[in-house]
Each structure stands twice: as C-alpha cells, then as structure tokens.
C-alpha cells in the first residue's frame, strides 16, 4: 500500500510541477509583452531609448530563459538557466527603478510592473534554492 501511495504522490507532484511550469512560462512571457507594449507607447527621448532597450532585452530574456530552464536536460542545466533568469529579472527591476527615479516614466505607470517582476524574482529564487547546486 505504501508503495502505491508513494507512486501516486510522485505522480501528483510531477503533474503539479508541470502545471506550475506552464503557468510560470505564461507569466514571464506576459510580463515581457507588457514591457514591449509599454516601450512602444512611450515618447522616445535619447535617455529613454538607451534605458528602454536594456529593459526590453532583460525582460524578454527572463521569459526566454525560464522557458529554456523548463526544457533543461539535467539538474545542472536547470540550475544554470534559472540562475540566468534571476540575473535578468533583477536587471529588469533595476531598469524599471532607473526609469522611475529619473522621472522618465511616472511611478504610477510602473508600480504594477515592478510588483510583477518582484514576484517573479522571488519565485525563481525559491526554485533555485530548492534545486541542488551542481
């Protein structure tokens, strides 16, 4: 009986893990799309172009590397990819803070995006902590 329960729990865990990864892939992609749309709507001063392109690169990298992490062939590869996701998410947050602190975009327009990237960052940091380092 305990062997069956063990197999069932493992199956349930894997099923939930797959669903969680699907939701996080959608969430990171949606965040990147929000950044792209925001960039498209803002008047392009020289300062905004420079910072905005860095923001575009880092935010889309979060989504692309999370997707790659989900396809990792080993725990070592997952750890490496999720580490890139953390770096890029932190950089995305940095550029949003720069845009806010330089008044290139009003705080009110950045609040929900900063909150979303902060939540994503916390989730992936936890995922990396729960993965054994290679």
Write down the pTM of the prediction.
0.85
Domain count across the chain: 1
User: SS3 of 133, please?
Assistant: coil
> For the chain, what is the mean pLDDT?
88
- What is the spatial distance between Cα 30 and Cα 63, in angstroms, rounded to a whole number? 8
Residues 4-58: pLDDT tens digits? 445 545 555 567 888 888 999 999 999 999 999 999 998 889 999 999 999 999 9
Secondary structure percentages of the chain, helix, strand, coil, to 5: 85, 0, 15
Q: Is residue 65 a contact partner of residue 127, using CB atoms and an 8 Å limit?
A: no
**Residue 134 covered by a domain:** no
Mean predicted confidence (pLDDT) in 79-103: 96
Q: Locate tokens 């916390």: which residue?
A: 122
Are the C-beta atoms of 82 and 24 separated by less than 8 Å?
no
Nearest to 86 by CA among 55, 46, 126, 53: 126
CATH of the domain at 94: 1.20.1440.60
Tell me, what's the pLDDT at 62? Answer: 98
Q: With respect to residue 57, please indicate whether it lies within any of the assigned structural domains.
A: yes
The whole domain housing 84 covers 2-129
């Amino acid at each position: 009986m305990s062997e069956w329960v063990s197999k069932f729990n493992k199956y349930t865990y894997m099923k939930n893990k797959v669903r969680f990864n699907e939701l996080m892939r959608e969430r990171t992609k949606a965040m990147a799309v929000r950044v792209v749309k925001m960039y498209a709507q803002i008047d392009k001063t020289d300062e905004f172009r420079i910072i905005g392109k860095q923001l575009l690169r880092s935010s889309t990298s979060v989504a692309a590397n999370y997707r790659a992490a989900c396809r990792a062939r080993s725990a070592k590869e997952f750890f490496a990819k999720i580490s890139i996701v953390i770096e890029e998410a932190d950089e995305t947050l940095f550029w949003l803070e720069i845009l806010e602190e330089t008044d290139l975009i009003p705080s009110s327009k950045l609040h929900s995006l900063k909150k979303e990237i902060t939540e994503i960052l916390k989730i992936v940091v936890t995922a990396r902590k729960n993965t054994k380092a290679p």
